[in-house]
Amino acid sequence: MLVVFIGPPGAGKGTQAKRLREHLAVPHISTGELMRNVESSQTDLGNQVGECLRRGELVPDDLVIGIVEQRIGQPDCENGCLFDGFPRTVTQAVQFDHCLKTKEKSLDLAVALSVTRPELISRLSARGRRDDTPETIANRLDVYDAHTLPLLAYYEQRGILANVDGTGSEDEVFERIKQAIDRHVTETA
Ligand code: AMP
């Protein structure tokens, strides 16, 4: 099964994707983690990516797509995978669809986690990651609204969007996600 998790920073994409990885027995791919790996390579590219991360800006689409294409070509993705933090722009989503088509695959479901902005700010401030400073948090939330939110309409049109309320305990949210996936599996069976 091929699933993407969409949601603003702090919505719980990483936490939930890791739990779902066990449930669906497919790898979990966090593009944020892939980008942090590129950053630590201490090359020119690494410095360029690091600059985007520090500012809370998106890494350029072509670079992200190239890295994702390489990753899904690995044998462990043969039976699908879960993306967390990808795609983040409509361009990425369109290019991703194209890339999957050439591999005779297609996306099964886009899970969109929603959480209110004040709740996100409070969760991110408590997390303390290097890009969780107040300025970067505000920028990442604005970037999400401007560039990533339009993805929901894109996937809704395709009939593969599952909106999930991301508030409440981790267990509650996980139950909602499992229900959305089961519903999708039943509908498409
Ligand atoms: P995350 O760990 O998902 O919050 O991602 C951390 C940072 O990595 C983001 O703020 C972006 O700078 C970068 N990043 C992660 N995924 C993407 C993506 N799909 N497109 C562009 N930039 C990304």
Question: Tell me: the pLDDT tens digits for 68-87?
Answer: 999 999 999 999 999 999 99
Calculate the average pLDDT of the chain. Answer: 95
Catalytic positions, please? 13, 88, 127, 129, 140
Q: What would the mean pLDDT of 88-102 be, rounded to a whole number?
A: 97
pLDDT at 127 over 90: no
- Burial letters 138-173, b for 16+ CB under 10 A, else e: eebbebbeebbeebeebbeeeebbbebebeeeeeeb
Cα 177 to its chain centre, rounded Å, is 14
Give the span between the Cα atoms of 41 and 18, in whole angstroms: 25
What secondary structure letter does DSSP report for 75?
Answer: G
State the pTM of this model: 0.95
pLDDT at 189 over 90: no
Give residue 121 CA to ligand 1 midpoint distance, Å: 17
pLDDT at 143 over 90: yes
Q: Is the CB of 86 within 6 Å of ligand 1?
A: yes
Tell which one of 59, 136, 137 to mutate to probe ligand 1, the residue whose CB is within 8 A of the most ligand atoms.
59
Range name among 53-57, 89-93, 115-119, 124-128 with the lowest pLDDT average: 124-128
Q: What would the mean pLDDT of 41-69 be, rounded to a whole number?
A: 95
Atom of ligand 1 nearest to the CA of 35: 8
8 Å CB contact between 160 and 5: no
Atom of ligand 1 nearest to the CA of 140: 10
Q: Is the CB of 52 within 6 Å of ligand 1?
A: yes
Count of positions (residues) in the chain:
189
Confidence (pLDDT) at 19: 95
Tell me which residue has tokens 């993705």.
77
